[in-house]
Amino acid sequence: MTKFFGTDGVRGLANAGKMTPTRVMHLGQVAGHFFNKTENKRASVVIGKDTRLSGDMIEAALVAGLASVGVDVKLAGVIPTSGVSLMTQTLRADFGIMITASHNAFPDNGIKIFGADGCKLSDVAEANLEALLLENSDRLVPSANLGRTTQHTDLQARYIEICKSAFPKGLRLDGMKIVIDGANGAAHQTAPATFWELGADTVIPIGVSPTGDNINAGCGSTATDLLSQQVLAHGADVGVALDGDADRLIMCDEKGQIIDGDQLLGLIGTSWLAQGRLSKPGVVATVMSNLGLERYLQTQDIALLRTQVGDRHVAARMREDGYNLGGEQSGHLLMTEYSPTGDGTMAALQVLAEIKRQGRAASEVLSVFDPVPQVLKNIRFTGDTPMGHRDLQVGIKTAEAELGASGRVLVRASGTEPLIRVMAEGDDPVKVEAVTDALIETIRGIVS
Residues 139 and 233 placed together within one structural domain of the fold: no
Q: How many Å apart are CA 213 and CA 190, to the nearest integer?
A: 20
414 is catalytic: no
Pairing type for strands 108-115 and 177-181 reads unpaired
Q: Which of 45, 56, 18, 309 is nearest to 152 (CA)?
A: 45
Residue 129 structural domain: 10-155
Residue 145: CA count within 13 A, CB half-sphere: 12
Region at 341 (left for phi over 0; alpha for psi -120 to 50; beta for the rest): beta
Residues 244 and 109 placed together within one structural domain of the fold: no
Q: How many Å apart are CA 281 and CA 303, to the nearest integer?
A: 6
Which of 257, 276, 303 terminates a domain? The answer is 257
Residues 429 and 303 placed together within one structural domain of the fold: no
From 44, 68, 85, 102, active-site residue: 102
Q: How many Å apart are CA 329 and CA 109, to the nearest integer?
A: 23
In a domain? residue 208: yes
Q: What is the CATH number of the domain that holds 175?
A: 3.40.120.10
Residues 237 and 283 placed together within one structural domain of the fold: no
Structural contact between residues 252 and 213, judged by C-beta atoms closer than 8 angstroms: no
Q: What integer pLDDT is reported at residue 38 of this predicted model? A: 60
Residues 93 and 227 placed together within one structural domain of the fold: no
**What's the pTM?**
0.90
Which of 155, 187, 205 terminates a domain? The answer is 155
Q: What integer pLDDT is reported at residue 414 of this predicted model? A: 84
Region at 246 (left for phi over 0; alpha for psi -120 to 50; beta for the rest): left
Residues 130 and 18 placed together within one structural domain of the fold: yes
Residues 15 and 146 placed together within one structural domain of the fold: yes
Q: Which residues pair with 379 in a beta bridge?
A: 420
Residues 389 and 339 placed together within one structural domain of the fold: no
In a domain? residue 418: yes
Residues 63 and 99 placed together within one structural domain of the fold: yes
CB atoms < 10 A from the CB of 326, how many?
28
Residues 14 and 119 placed together within one structural domain of the fold: yes
In a domain? residue 360: no
In a domain? residue 3: no
Residues 314 and 379 placed together within one structural domain of the fold: no
Q: Which of 296, 294, 327 is nearest to 310 (CA)?
A: 327
Q: Which of 169, 190, 233 is nearest to 84 (CA)?
A: 190
In a domain? residue 361: no
Distances (CA, A) of 436 to 374, 410, 447: 10, 10, 17
Q: How many Å apart are CA 170 and CA 244, to the nearest integer?
A: 31
Element (H, E) at 32: helix 21-35
In a domain? residue 424: yes
Q: What integer pLDDT is reported at residue 39 of this predicted model? A: 57
Which of 293, 321, 352 terminates a domain? The answer is 352
Q: What is the CATH number of the domain that holds 440?
A: 3.30.310.50
Residues 296 and 234 placed together within one structural domain of the fold: no
**Mean pLDDT per 10-residue run, the chain (448 residues)?**
72 95 95 80 94 98 97 98 97 97 95 94 87 83 96 96 95 97 98 98 98 97 97 98 97 97 97 96 95 96 94 92 96 94 96 97 96 94 90 94 91 85 94 95 92
Q: What integer pLDDT is reported at residue 4 of this predicted model? A: 78
Q: What integer pLDDT is reported at residue 160 of this predicted model? A: 98
In a domain? residue 369: no
Q: What integer pLDDT is reported at residue 193 of this predicted model? A: 98
In a domain? residue 60: yes
Count of domains forming the chain: 4
